[in-house]
Chain A
Amino acid sequence: MEGEVYADDLSSVPALSWLVRPCERYKEEYKDCRSIKAKFHQYFIHGETKDCSNWQADYDHCLQYRKYKDLESLTSVIKSEMKRRQERLKGHYTNTVWDKRESPPDDWNKPLPEYLQKTQEGSYLALKSKEQKEGKIEEPSYICTIS
């Protein structure tokens, strides 16, 4: 997982510093949030456009930490990430239409009927799945840069 704080430094910074993304990601989110397409998307979903200033603030604070190791700035970004996290998960935890499980369903991998097992046996997906389990498939490598 990429973060702004290096793994070696985590023991000397506030807890939850691992939540802080590389600064460029805040800049990208700010730029995107303000774009016409994003504004349209926000209006389409929420009926209003979002305030994007928190992304800019996080970018500025992130750079302060990067340049000067300012822990107050880092803490500010951590608080901002926690707030985003709470907002995202609030909808999940307040979905009481169903009860949460304590463990996965027992029948997750129950065997398919025999006639279906036979059709799957020689399939392309069966072959690829077997190769993947045997470690013969390499993850495709690609470079993704957000600028």
Chain B
Amino acid sequence: MKCEKNVWGCVQSSPLVKLMMAALKSSGCEVDLTRHISCEVCDVTVNGGYDSELNQVIVCQNVTRTEGMTQGVLAHELIHMFDYCRNKLDFKNVEHLACTEIRAANLTHCSFLSAMFQGDASPFKIAKAHQDCVKTKAAFSVMAIRRIDEAEARAVVDRVFDKCYNDLEPIGRRIRRNSLDMYKAYQDRYAFGYE
């Protein structure tokens, strides 16, 4: 119930989640909270996921306990839904999978602090460290889903990286934490047909 309340809270007040849902709706893929989002108990190593068979976002209620964390999970998984809605995304195609994971990591994760925590950035390694963070995060996501080894996952991420890293729709910017970027991105939605 707490998980569902957090989801509802995000849907009502998070500019990022509202933008993603508006973009999906305007693309002909309206999100039905009953059908497309589910709170479930998961393995403790994951905080959420997207079930491509059922076309449903899973929020792991035993891990994702706050509204803030729920916002991150929803934004990430709704990127996958957006990619599936607008493109002929074949989740069995490892390049497609890598691309959508690159976009989700790029748009909803990888602040400097999380990059440092992940080992991809440090006070001595700042310039373009964001890319390394996104590559690592995407590679680990691909490994978790497809059960391939790290070298293979990184190779496929590298193959599609340049095209997918620069595709920022529907958010349009790489949001900086604790800034007004989320609100600005939400304000920009009309100009790009997302409402």
Contact = CB atoms under 8 A, between A and B. Distances in A.
Q: Do A and B come from one complex?
A: yes
Interface residues of B, number: 59
B30 to A, nearest CB: 8
A109 to B, nearest CB: 6
B84 A124 contact: no
Contacts of B28: 103-104, 108
**What class of interface size applies to chain A in its complex with B?**
35 or more
A2 B184 CA distance: 12
Contacts of B166: 90-91, 94-95
Interface string A27-53: 011001000011011011111100000
Contact of B99 (A47, A98, A108): A98
Given A43-B126, A120-B38, A124-B5, A88 B87 contact: no
Given A32-B179, A101-B86, A125-B33, A44 B127 contact: yes
Given A47-B128, A105-B85, A123-B4, A97 B164 contact: yes
B32 A109 contact: yes
A122 to B, nearest CB: 11
B1 A124 contact: yes
B7 interface: yes
B117 interface: no
Contacts of A94: 163, 166-167
Contacts of B39: 125
A83 interface: no
Interface in B97-155: 99, 112, 115, 121, 126-131
B65 interface: no
Contacts of B7: 125
Interface of A: 1-2, 19, 25, 28-29, 32, 37-38, 40-41, 43-48, 85, 88-92, 94-101, 103-105, 107-110, 112-113, 116, 120, 123-126, 128-129, 132, 139-140, 142, 144, 146
